[in-house]
């Protein structure tokens, strides 16, 4: 039975579970204590001192995010001395902050700005020397601006504890304290995999994606270029949040309308590319499974994950599927199949991918992902960047009518939709693999064994009297556990799915940023995932190999999965980047 304690908070007597923090206890009765460095289950260190409270009978202040409640404790969360101490702390933080708020992409979604408004800060009392640090913008995906850093360490905790990367850390002491990298290198010269979880954790704009909006706008103005856009499955279940819509709202039709209003020549669906990925990946898995060749096969859709294995487990790279990721596959088909069909010169096509992921910005520049000296994808923008473009154009997303994706590369299946969440790639591949292996149209569609929030999901499936052991992992700390099993020879998996971001693409580094308060109170992952699965359930076609457009493209152009042309256009190679 749970042990309880009696405490008093702001003259309210309450009974709460023993062992919870003052911050948690206060939330139970609707008292919102301000925080800055706190990030539930990730960073609970009390460094910023914004959450201080006064406990009767004790000297000084207590940090509510780490102080546990005790029997008989009397707490005051907003006495004059508490409020003044918080205000002084906030003033000191602001005194060394680059306060160019009006030109900051986090304007209106900045936890420091929110605190300044809450405390009515109009002037900075402690104006002093402001450090001017060099901005690191050499990475293809992330910009690091130390001048906007508040030393909350949320990024450090996320990178180290959740992703087990440790590309960034806190250096020096006192006034010289800073968030840095080993030997203060650029992120591009570290073991950073560009997952962007540090950006999602940052309360300000000290970390952000490298913006490519201007590149897209420039191409949209060029009458000699066909600008074709494609959108990932996770984008449509999160974009609405940037316009005040509930978390997990499906805005597919409105998103397509907005893209057409922005001037894109064609709006295609990355989900169509995902269906091709499944056809190629399922075929590859079946061949490997029969020959016991580089088993387990590991998915290669996530570029942050691919970079991680290339750097940390180069000896296991042959286990990666040779398939390109869905948006790269679709980009390749746009510049070959579609270009030929429409009699357009491939060099006059500019492919823009809208992704929930900043690692895609890195991926699209890889020389392996090109054909005839043309990159498959020319530009990647995030969900957040698309929202900014829509706002720049004065388009009100929630008022738009729905539109359909353009043909021929705009038809997809429910299997493709679930690519956006952890376990989805595996489930989609299994739907097709089981039909191919059995030669039947099986009724089993939902592989719930690989669904859910758990960081590692294992299952043993029986397909055509063959036992197939699978595992799906999300978050790189979890991926490392699976890799160590494979490396040591202790695993007996045949198929492995890895996504770098905890929860999968729906929680990618390019998705709408949620404050610490929202992340504490709402299960964002679940709401977005529920929407993804709802799209799948409502789809008229739920198996990739039944997509009519896919069948047509194979018949007219690719011949069959794994054919010479399919290998040339839809597959690639990965390599050892341990010394990069």
Out of 284, 328, 427, 497, which one is annotated catalytic?
284
Out of 300, 321, 322, 325, which one is annotated catalytic?
321
Out of 254, 360, 361, 457, which one is annotated catalytic?
360
Out of 200, 280, 363, 427, which one is annotated catalytic?
363
For the domain made up of 214-570, the CATH class stated in words is: alpha beta
- Establish whether 284 is a catalytic residue: yes
- Residue 431 CB-half CA count within 13 A: 31
pLDDT of residue 578: 61
- Establish whether 505 is a catalytic residue: yes
557 CB-contact burial (10 Å; exposed 0-12 / middle 13-18 / buried 19+): middle
Q: CA 556, CA 565: separation in Å to the nearest integer?
A: 12
- Establish whether 127 is a catalytic residue: no
Tally of residues, the chain: 580
Q: CA 545, CA 557: separation in Å to the nearest integer?
A: 16
| CB within 8 Å of 320: residues ≥ 6 apart | 297, 298, 299, 300, 306, 309, 574
Residue ranges of the chain assigned to CATH 3.30.70.20:
94-209
User: Which tokens go with 194?
Assistant: 């560009």
Out of 301, 323, 501, 531, which one is annotated catalytic?
301
Out of 56, 368, 555, 559, which one is annotated catalytic?
368
Q: Are 432 and 544 in contact (CB under 8 A)?
A: yes
pLDDT tens track of the chain, all 580 residues?
Answer: 789 999 999 999 999 999 999 999 999 999 999 999 999 999 999 999 999 999 999 999 999 999 999 999 999 999 999 999 999 999 999 988 999 999 999 999 999 999 999 999 888 877 767 778 899 999 999 999 999 999 999 999 999 999 999 999 998 877 778 899 988 899 999 999 999 999 999 999 999 999 999 999 999 999 999 999 999 999 999 999 999 999 999 999 999 999 999 999 999 999 999 999 999 999 999 999 989 889 999 999 999 999 999 999 999 999 999 999 999 999 999 999 999 999 999 999 999 999 999 999 999 999 999 988 999 999 999 999 999 999 999 999 999 999 999 999 999 999 999 999 999 999 999 999 889 888 998 887 889 999 998 999 999 988 888 889 999 999 999 999 999 999 999 889 999 999 999 999 999 999 999 999 999 999 999 999 999 999 999 999 999 999 999 999 999 999 999 999 999 999 999 986 765 4
pLDDT of residue 138: 96
Residue ranges of the chain assigned to CATH 3.10.20.740:
4-78
Out of 198, 208, 505, 531, which one is annotated catalytic?
505
Out of 281, 310, 328, 427, which one is annotated catalytic?
281
- Establish whether 373 is a catalytic residue: no
pLDDT of residue 580: 44
Bridge partners, residue 468, by sequence: 461
Say if domain 4-78 classifies as CATH 3.10.20.740.
yes
Say if domain 94-209 classifies as CATH 2.60.40.1930.
no
- Establish whether 360 is a catalytic residue: yes
Q: Are 182 and 487 in contact (CB under 8 A)?
A: no
Q: Are 253 and 410 in contact (CB under 8 A)?
A: no
- Establish whether 515 is a catalytic residue: no
Residue ranges of the chain assigned to CATH 3.40.50.1780:
214-570
pLDDT of residue 88: 93
């Amino acid at each position: 039975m749970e042990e309880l304690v009696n405490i008093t908070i702001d003259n309210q007597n309450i009974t709460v579970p023993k062992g919870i923090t003052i911050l948690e206890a206060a939330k139970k009765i609707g008292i919102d204590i301000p925080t800055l460095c706190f990030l539930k289950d990730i960073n609970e260190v009390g460094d910023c001192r914004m959450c201080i409270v006064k406990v009767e009978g004790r000297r000084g202040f207590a940090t509510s995010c780490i102080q546990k409640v005790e029997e008989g404790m009397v707490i005051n969360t907003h006495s004059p001395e508490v409020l003044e101490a918080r205000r002084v702390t906030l003033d000191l933080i602001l005194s060394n902050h680059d306060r160019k708020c009006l030109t900051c992409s986090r304007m209106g979604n900045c936890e420091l700005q929110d605190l300044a408004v809450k405390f009515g800060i109009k002037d900075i009392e402690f104006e002093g020397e402001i450090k001017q640090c060099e901005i690191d913008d050499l990475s293809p995906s992330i910009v690091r601006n130390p001048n906007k850093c508040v030393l909350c360490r949320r990024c450090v905790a996320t990178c180290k504890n959740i992703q087990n990367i440790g590309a960034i850390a806190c250096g020096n002491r006192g006034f010289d304290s800073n968030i840095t990298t080993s030997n203060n290198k650029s992120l591009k010269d570290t073991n950073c995999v560009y997952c962007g979880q540090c950006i999602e954790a940052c309360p300000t704009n000290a970390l952000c994606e490298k913006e490519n909006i201007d590149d897209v706008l420039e191409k949209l103005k060029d009458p000699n270029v066909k600008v074709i856009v494609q959108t990932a499955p996770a984008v449509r279940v999160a974009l609405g949040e940037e316009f005040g819509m509930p978390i997990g709202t499906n805005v597919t039709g409105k998103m397509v309308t907005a893209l057409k209003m922005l001037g894109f020549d064609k709006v295609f669906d990355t989900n169509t590319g995902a269906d091709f990925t499944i056809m190629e990946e399922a075929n590859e898995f079946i061949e490997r499974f029969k020959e016991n060749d580089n088993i387990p096969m590991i998915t290669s859709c996530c570029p942050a994950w691919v970079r991680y294995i290339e750097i940390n487990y180069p000896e296991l790279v042959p286990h990666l599927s040779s398939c390109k990721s869905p948006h790269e596959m679709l980009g390749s088909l746009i510049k070959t199949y579609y270009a030929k069909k429409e009699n357009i010169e491939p060099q006059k096509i500019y492919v823009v991918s809208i992704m929930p992921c900043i690692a895609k910005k890195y991926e699209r520049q890889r020389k392996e992902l090109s054909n005839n000296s043309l990159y498959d994808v020319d530009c990647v923008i995030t969900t957040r960047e698309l929202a900014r473009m829509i706002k720049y154009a004065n388009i009100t997303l929630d008022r738009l009518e729905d539109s359909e994706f353009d043909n021929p590369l705009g038809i997809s299946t429910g299997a493709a939709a679930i690519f956006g969440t952890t376990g989805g790639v595996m489930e989609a591949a299994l739907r097709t693999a089981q039909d191919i292996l059995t030669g039947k149209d099986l009724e089993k569609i939902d592989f719930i064994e690989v669904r859910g929030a758990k960081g590692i999901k294992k299952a043993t499936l029986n397909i055509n009297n063959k036992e197939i052991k699978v595992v799906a992992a999300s978050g790189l700390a979890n991926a490392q556990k699976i890799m160590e099993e494979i490396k040591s020879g202790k695993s007996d998996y045949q198929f492995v799915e890895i996504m770098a971001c905890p929860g999968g693409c729906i929680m990618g580094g390019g998705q709408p940023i949620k404050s610490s308060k929202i992340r504490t109170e709402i299960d964002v992952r679940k709401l977005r995932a529920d929407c993804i699965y709802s799209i799948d359930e409502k789809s008229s076609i739920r198996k990739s190999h039944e997509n009519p457009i896919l069948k047509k493209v194979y018949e007219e152009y690719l011949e069959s999965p794994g054919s010479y042309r399919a290998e040339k256009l839809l597959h690639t190679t990965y390599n050892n980047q341990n010394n990069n």
